[in-house]
């Protein structure tokens, strides 16, 4: 399948690139080269600042340790849930080292509270006579420790239980991210970075983490303070123009394959993702339910959705499949209307195409182009053959261009959550009404720090 361009094109940007996201994040924080607390050598403004649309933005600081509202230290799992080779837990809060020392037994007998920062200490947590958990501990400061242990869920749960018995409280890492940052937008960007599934989306979100959106908001507030209301309105309008794109940085674009029965939709989705995701058979109406596949097209996250052939349907199950297919059309970011180029394009096909175009953007695909074409007038579209791979690479490129016609330049401010977009829209409406107090209020709420974070 790699020869047809489908798998090769997708494999250049795999759907799961968490390691690349982590690499980008670590590089931005300089944690991959320096121990915590070390100061990088200054080599000019480029090492400590990023220039974002003419505004000098300081590189954000590393999150600071903190406790919960009751003053108890918090234990937070920083690695993804589920089984893995190694899991990392962060214990932060007052006297975190003393809390761990009550149940920690170092191989050389050294207490964590008495160890120098950034020293790795091997030992175990718990009673050695029972089920002790082997860990590698790293003291960051008096109030912050990193604990590395076996990645199994039982091992992590055991360590969390031991720490809770000593007065710690388990918290979700999103809550930790919010209260560990002094900038709400930065905290939201950190959460979004962990959810980014391609390098391109991670790059845009990293710009926001490093202050792109915050810098744009500062410029808008400066324009308002200077009485340049028209300039502020223009900036808000331009910023909100990126909102539809921004929402897809953590939510994939939905591309629905639809069309008459037996047009080769299932074969085409298999060609696009590079493996047999859908069952294929010569009998019309094989697909009865909605089928999805995650992919990365031109570097952007996409959910491909195969649907039942559109038409009247005879069997109740077939009719239900058609009903579900029509429902998917109404929420699609793009519809690939797949038709069989070896058969005449009928009036019914024209009606189905018009119905799809009436609810979502449509790209017509003339599938089975390896067969002799039927002599008739067909709508403009792209030729493709799911069987031979002809035109699949071109189709992937066309999908990418339709979904993201304009990619944001480096450092572009992009709102990426519905909360941010709602606040910006409210500020824009208030500015149009001349209510500057409300504008200021909405912008303040957009960036204010909160104690309880909700993604």
Q: Quick check: 165 and 72 in contact, CB under 8 A?
A: no
Q: Which of 385, 403, 421 is the last residue of a domain?
A: 403
**Angle, in degrees to the nearest 10, between helices 229-240 and 212-225:** 160
What is the pLDDT, as a whole number, of residue 365?
93
What is the pLDDT, as a whole number, of residue 68?
55
In this structure, is residue 391 part of a structural domain?
Answer: yes
What is the pLDDT, as a whole number, of residue 424?
97
In this structure, is residue 291 part of a structural domain?
Answer: yes
What is the pLDDT, as a whole number, of residue 330?
85
In this structure, is residue 193 part of a structural domain?
Answer: no
Q: Are residues 269 and 373 in the same domain?
A: yes
Contacts of 241 (CB under 8 A, 6+ apart): none
Contacts of 302 (CB under 8 A, 6+ apart): 252, 253, 254, 255, 294, 295, 296, 399, 403
Judged by DSSP in three states, 374 sits in coil
C-alpha distance from residue 67 to each of 71, 96, 116, 185 (Å): 5, 10, 22, 21
Judged by DSSP in three states, 44 sits in coil
Cα(377)–Cα(375) distance, integer angstroms: 7
**Higher local confidence (pLDDT), 113 or 200:** 200
Output the domain CATH number for residue 283. Answer: 3.40.50.300
Output the domain CATH number for residue 92. Answer: 3.30.1360.120
Q: Are residues 171 and 275 in the same domain?
A: no
Specify the residue for token string 């149009």: 432
Q: Are residues 168 and 299 in the same domain?
A: no
Q: What is the mean predicted confidence (pLDDT) over 392-413?
A: 95
Is the pLDDT at 332 greater than 80? The verdict is yes
What is the pLDDT, as a whole number, of residue 311?
57
**Closest of 184, 204, 198 to residue 411, by C-alpha:** 204
- Which stretch of DSSP H or E encloses residue 291? strand 291-297
Q: Are residues 126 and 257 in the same domain?
A: no
In this structure, is residue 129 part of a structural domain?
Answer: yes
Q: Quick check: 363 and 399 in contact, CB under 8 A?
A: yes
How confident is the model over 70-88, as pLDDT tens digits?
Answer: 578 889 998 887 777 899 9
CA 83 to chain centroid, in Å, comes to 21
| Three-state secondary structure string covering 189-218 | HHHHHHHCCCHHHHHHHHHHHCCHHHHHHH
Q: Which of 403, 419, 440 is the last residue of a domain?
A: 403
How confident is the model over 265-290, as pLDDT tens digits?
Answer: 888 988 898 865 654 434 444 445 57
Give 365's strand partners: 338, 382
What is the pLDDT, as a whole number, of residue 394?
95
Cα(402)–Cα(399) distance, integer angstroms: 5
In this structure, is residue 49 part of a structural domain?
Answer: no
**Closest of 301, 280, 302, 277 to residue 291, by C-alpha:** 277
In this structure, is residue 377 part of a structural domain?
Answer: yes
Q: Are residues 305 and 392 in the same domain?
A: yes
Q: Are residues 267 and 393 in the same domain?
A: yes
**Closest of 337, 429, 28, 404 to residue 210, by C-alpha:** 28
In this structure, is residue 8 part of a structural domain?
Answer: no
Q: Report how many domains make up the chain.
A: 2
**Higher local confidence (pLDDT), 36 or 423:** 423
Is the pLDDT at 322 greater than 50? The verdict is yes
Q: What is the mean predicted confidence (pLDDT) over 337-354?
A: 87
Token reading at 169: 């409280």
In this structure, is residue 48 part of a structural domain?
Answer: no
Token reading at 446: 């957009």
Q: Are residues 293 and 393 in the same domain?
A: yes
Which domain range does residue 296 map to?
253-403
What is the pLDDT, as a whole number, of residue 56?
38
Contacts of 112 (CB under 8 A, 6+ apart): 97, 100, 101, 104, 106, 121, 137, 139, 145
Q: What is the mean predicted confidence (pLDDT) over 59-77?
A: 62
What is the pLDDT, as a whole number, of residue 313?
55
Mean pLDDT of the chain: 78
Q: Are residues 257 and 343 in the same domain?
A: yes
C-alpha distance from residue 154 to each of 82, 147, 159, 267 (Å): 10, 15, 9, 42
**Higher local confidence (pLDDT), 315 or 177:** 177
Dihedral (Cα; 321, 324, 326, 329), 10-degree rounding:
-130
């Amino acid at each position: 399948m790699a020869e047809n361009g489908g798998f090769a094109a997708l494999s250049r940007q795999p759907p799961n690139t968490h390691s690349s996201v982590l690499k980008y994040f670590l590089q931005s924080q300089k944690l991959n080269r320096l121990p915590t607390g070390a100061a990088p050598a200054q080599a000019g403004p480029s090492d400590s600042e990023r220039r974002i649309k003419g505004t000098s933005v300081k590189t954000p600081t590393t999150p600071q340790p903190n406790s919960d509202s009751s003053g108890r230290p918090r234990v937070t799992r920083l690695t993804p849930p589920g089984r893995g080779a190694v899991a990392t837990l962060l214990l932060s809060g007052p006297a975190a080292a003393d809390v761990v020392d009550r149940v920690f037994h170092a191989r050389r007998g050294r207490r964590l509270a008495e160890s120098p920062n950034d020293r790795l200490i091997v030992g175990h947590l718990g009673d050695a006579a029972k089920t002790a958990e082997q860990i590698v501990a790293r003291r960051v400061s008096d109030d912050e420790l990193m604990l590395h242990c076996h990645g199994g869920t039982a091992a992590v749960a055991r360590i969390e239980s031991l720490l809770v018995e000593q007065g710690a409280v388990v918290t979700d890492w999103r809550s930790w991210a919010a209260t560990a940052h002094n900038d709400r937008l930065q905290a939201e960007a950190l959460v979004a970075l962990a959810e980014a599934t391609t390098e391109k989306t991670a790059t845009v979100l990293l710009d926001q983490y490093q202050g792109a959106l915050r810098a744009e908001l500062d410029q808008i507030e400066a324009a308002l303070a200077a009485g340049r209301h028209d300039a502020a309105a223009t900036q808000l309008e331009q910023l909100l123009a990126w909102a539809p794109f921004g929402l897809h940085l953590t939510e994939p674009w939905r591309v629905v394959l639809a069309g008459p029965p037996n047009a080769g939709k299932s074969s085409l989705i298999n060609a696009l993702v590079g493996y047999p995701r859908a069952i294929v058979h010569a009998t019309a109406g094989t697909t009865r339910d909605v089928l999805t596949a995650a992919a990365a097209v031109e570097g952007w996250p996409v959910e491909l959705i195969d649907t039942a052939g559109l038409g009247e349907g005879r069997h109740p199950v077939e009719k239900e499949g058609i009903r579900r297919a029509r429902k998917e059309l109404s929420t699609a970011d793009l519809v690939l209307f797949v038709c069989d180029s070896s058969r005449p394009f009928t009036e019914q096909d024209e009606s189905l195409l018009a119905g799809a175009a009436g609810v979502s953007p449509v790209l017509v695909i003339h599938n089975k182009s390896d067969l002799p074409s039927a002599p008739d007038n067909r709508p403009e579209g792209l030729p493709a053959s799911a069987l031979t791979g002809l035109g699949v690479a071109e189709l992937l490129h066309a999908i990418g261009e339709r979904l993201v016609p304009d990619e944001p330049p480096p450092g572009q401010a992009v709102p990426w959550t519905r909360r941010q977009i709602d606040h910006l829209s409210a500020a824009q409406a208030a500015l149009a009404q001349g209510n500057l107090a409300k504008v200021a209020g909405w912008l303040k709420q957009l960036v204010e720090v909160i104690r309880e974070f909700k993604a």
